Structure 1
């Protein structure tokens, strides 16, 4: 008999994943999803009334002539921005802050610019119609304020409405992040509303070594987070309003206060809920992209967040629910088709090229080393298979070395072939059905036994 595991599948019924016959029961890693907030408005009000980090509540930091820049995370996150904004704006208006003195910027960083339609969906019809809303142009230096250079040599260039405000309010969420340990907090500005020269310099900090070692690391141990905090010291007052998220519509914690205090507090809760138990690397790792909102390129972060769970030479399998409207949100379709057109020969060249490039950039200290390293770890050290029917239908069966599938049976057959060729006909399998929440840092990280539930007979 074969094992069957339910994979959350967007707004559709769960996808039933059936493993090849004869394979042992997998280790199924689920996030802790207990204790969701029942009354978000009440929870947010409590958080705003009692900020962390020894700072005053928002309304005690502003007055009738204050300027306020609100920065929200971009649509690739499922933060309850539409629900939080009216509550925050109500407090600002009660203190006499003028509507014209409030701006709202989306912290897009290197992500896709947010157009008018997407902005309205993000902030709500009334807010979009009443307030100045921006998607910062990452390459237009004339739109940025130069705040000098940090002691680490990072140029601090921030989108002018954010840099010049008397107070900045950051509305986002804390999730595992490949470079910063955890996203959220000041990261909404650095790199969210920073010029490309600033965001590039921040991403170059702390590169090299095992690209997975920074995932889930504390702020004190994380060079990118330290660089972000150094850049933030050039700004005036900031208040973070941040969340621990579950699937869309679920919030487990909300906190306000000094960005560093909020970040540290919520990162600990994310680690408790979502960090995978330590285990020997498996032969096959399967991760669903839930609850990421259907962008296949963003969904590759799911595989990156779990690659340490898979041994070198093993197979990484992604089940990517894909919203056809979001299919090229992060990566242009012509570029994807150009890569796909190279077929199997192109995939082989890319694998060999990445292996060589990794050695070269590691020796040179190039700024590209992080991106090259995780790309190598994905497609050189492991076989990568992705079930994403809309993407496969648009570009064909390959994206460079990555095989794409729209037929679960075909994918299952390929897994059997890979297992036999690797001499593991009964492979150890770990499955992360909600891989957009869970994460598996490099095994050098401190062992944590709490935070996620492991189901199955072959735990290691």
Structure 2
């Protein structure tokens, strides 16, 4: 039987391969790429140029003069940042200032996510860093130092190892985020290296904004007047984060733009581009929306935020592809740890929406506990695309219009997309 094939990216940090999605030939398939999907990846020279010509800051080699202890903070494996491609240029700058490798350590900004293993660190940093530098997990429950209160009222405690250093450099990426509009900037401090109490206060800012009817200040793409953005911007200042590097990524997860300098300047310059770069055009008359998840593959639940609105006008089937070899992220604040043990702000996705006729979740690594959080009533969990297609064929025997989102974890619906 003839079919139409769409290819989407699969398993970042692992095979970094492709998943082929076959559909009946009679169906109409619309591939919903974000605007910056095909942006070319950066060369090593591009990365070096950004780091050596920073925004609103002296060169890193000047900032490093006379410093005694250095912390390099990097985002965790739930983010697509290819830190290994950036770190060599950072080390070159530090070496140029006379900084010895013996006083440099790496801290993973896990926030409330689970601790990383050697393999996780090696994927992010590369073997050379693992062989030559100490690399530490952040501990959200212990060893955090109080540094002050933000203008939003968050009492901020952060990683004591970081606070013991007199030069602080951080590496991350700017991608859409379900609460802060976009990640990046000072978010690597709060929640990245903050205590559980500080992170709870940070997350409650979103709940407060929604309770007060300020829905437009939070959510994907909403960063202007976002109280959480104000909070993490303050946090970066309170810890005296000296130098921030943020990238944007293309449809393959490759860095395609990079900014370096002060956290606030870097964030707003990067977000200025990100608003259009990640924007995606909706397909409001789709019968089926298929949302693949890639760049933040272990936070696949985020993909619902682009799939659900696409079906509001007409109604139809939603397919969420969550395929990450080690399963979904552990989240100490928002996750489930048993029938009686939940994170402080655990809030399951357990609502039924009238326009979602069927929700199908393709998850080869299905864990029963995952369904505590992703708990949409009557959702159908399967492990292969053939099982998905069997259900769709049965419900749409003749024709269907299908919207395919290649990466629902970094794409968002916006009027910025032409």
TM-score after normalising by structure 1: 0.76
State which drifts further: 386-395 or 271-280.
Answer: 386-395
Match of 1:188 in 2: 188
Match of 1:153 in 2: 153
Cα distance, 1:317 vs. partner? 0.9
Distance 1:46 1:146 in 2: 36
Counterpart contact for 1:283–1:311, Cα < 8 Å: no
Distance 1:378 1:2 in 2: 32
Counterpart contact for 2:177–2:183, Cα < 8 Å: yes
Residues 411-422 of structure 1 correspond to what in structure 2 (within 5 A)? 411-415=388-392
Match of 2:107 in 1: 105
Match of 1:276 in 2: 280
Counterpart contact for 1:82–1:124, Cα < 8 Å: yes
Cα distance, 1:393 vs. partner? 11
Counterpart contact for 2:29–2:403, Cα < 8 Å: yes
Q: Given the superposition, is the C-alpha separation of residues 303 and 280 from structure 1 closer, same or farther in structure 2, using an over 3 Å criterion?
A: same
Residues 34-60 of structure 1: CA distance to partner in whole angstroms, max 9, x if unpaired? 342352x211221122211x2111111
Match of 2:417 among 449, 454, 457: 449
Q: Given the superposition, is the C-alpha separation of residues 249 and 303 from structure 1 closer, same or farther in structure 2, using an over 3 Å criterion?
A: closer
Structure 1: 5+ residue runs without aligned partners?
340-366, 442-446, 451-460
Counterpart contact for 1:392–1:404, Cα < 8 Å: no
Counterpart contact for 2:294–2:407, Cα < 8 Å: yes
Match of 1:375 among 336, 349, 358: 349
Match of 2:364 among 385, 389, 401: 389
Match of 1:431 among 404, 414, 418: 404
Residues 135-167 of structure 1: CA distance to partner in whole angstroms, max 9, x if unpaired? 111111xx1110122232201101012223223
Counterpart contact for 1:246–1:437, Cα < 8 Å: no
SS at match of 1:27: strand
Match of 2:51 in 1: 48
Residues 77-156 of structure 1 correspond to what in structure 2 (within 5 A)? 77-140=79-142, 143-156=143-156
Query: Larger % of helix: which?
Result: 1
Counterpart contact for 2:292–2:405, Cα < 8 Å: yes
Q: Report the aligned-residue RMSD.
A: 3.4
Residues 40-439 of structure 1 correspond to what in structure 2 (within 5 A)? 41-52=44-55, 54-140=56-142, 143-207=143-207, 208=210, 214-248=218-252, 250-277=254-281, 280=284, 282-293=286-297, 295=298, 298-311=299-312, 314-323=316-325, 326-327=326-327, 329-330=329-330, 368=345, 372=347, 375-376=349-350, 382=356, 383-391=358-366, 400=375, 401=377, 402-415=379-392, 429-439=402-412
Q: Given the superposition, is the C-alpha separation of residues 448 and 409 from structure 1 closer, same or farther in structure 2, using an over 3 Å criterion?
A: same
Q: Given the superposition, is the C-alpha separation of residues 93 and 409 from structure 1 closer, same or farther in structure 2, using an over 3 Å criterion?
A: closer
Structure 2: 5+ residue runs without aligned partners?
none
Q: Given the superposition, is the C-alpha separation of residues 106 and 380 from structure 1 closer, same or farther in structure 2, using an over 3 Å criterion?
A: farther
TM-score after normalising by structure 2: 0.82
Cα distance, 1:273 vs. partner? 2.3
Counterpart contact for 2:26–2:399, Cα < 8 Å: yes
Residues 302-328 of structure 1: CA distance to partner in whole angstroms, max 9, x if unpaired? 2234332221864321123332xx125
State which drifts further: 256-265 or 405-414.
Answer: 405-414
Counterpart contact for 2:174–2:184, Cα < 8 Å: yes
Cα distance, 1:27 vs. partner? 3.0
Q: Given the superposition, is the C-alpha separation of residues 136 and 127 from structure 1 closer, same or farther in structure 2, using an over 3 Å criterion?
A: same
Distance 2:135 2:194 in 1: 16
Match of 1:16 in 2: 21
Residues 157-198 of structure 1: CA distance to partner in whole angstroms, max 9, x if unpaired? 010122232232110111110011111121111101000011
Counterpart contact for 1:318–1:386, Cα < 8 Å: yes
Counterpart contact for 1:178–1:305, Cα < 8 Å: no
Distance 1:268 1:60 in 2: 27
Cα distance, 1:430 vs. partner? 2.2
Counterpart contact for 2:82–2:254, Cα < 8 Å: no
